[in-house]
Amino acid sequence: MKVSRLVTHSGLTIDISLVKCIKHATTYDGPKRHVLTFEFQTRFIYIQNPATEEYELQAVQDSTELDFPSFERLETAADEWEAIWQDYLDDHGS
C-alpha cells in the first residue's frame, strides 16, 4: 500500500505518492512558456447520473502545471522534483 506524503516545493504542494510522471517542455503555441507538468495516477470515483439516479464509475486523470520564467529554472526545478520523487520511491520500495 502506498504511503501518502505531502511535499511542497517551487510553490506547489502535492501528494508525491500519486505522481505517475513528471514532464517538462517549452511551448510555443501563443506566449512562450516553460512548463513542468505533473500527471497523477488514474483514480476512480462514483458519480450519480441525474437522468437515471444510478451511480456510475468514472476514471479521473488529473494533472497540474508549473510555469517558469526561463528554461534554466525549469530544468533546475524538474531535477529537484525528480530527486524528491526518487527519494519517496526509495523510501517505499516502489
The one-digit pLDDT tens for each residue of the chain (94 residues) are 689 999 999 999 999 999 999 999 998 888 889 999 999 999 999 999 999 999 999 999 999 999 999 999 999 999 999 999 999 999 986 5
> In this structure, are strands 63-68 and 33-40 parallel, antiparallel, or unpaired?
antiparallel
Contacts (Cβ under 8 Å, ≥6 apart) of 45: 57, 58, 60
Say what the pLDDT of residue 94 is: 57
Q: State the pLDDT at residue 78.
A: 96
Helices (H) and strands (E) in the chain, counts: 1, 7
Closest alpha carbon to 78 in 39, 19, 17, 37: 37
Which pLDDT does position 34 carry in this prediction?
Answer: 94
Write down the pLDDT at residue 93: 66
Full-model pTM: 0.83
Residue 32: the pLDDT is 86
Length of the chain equals 94
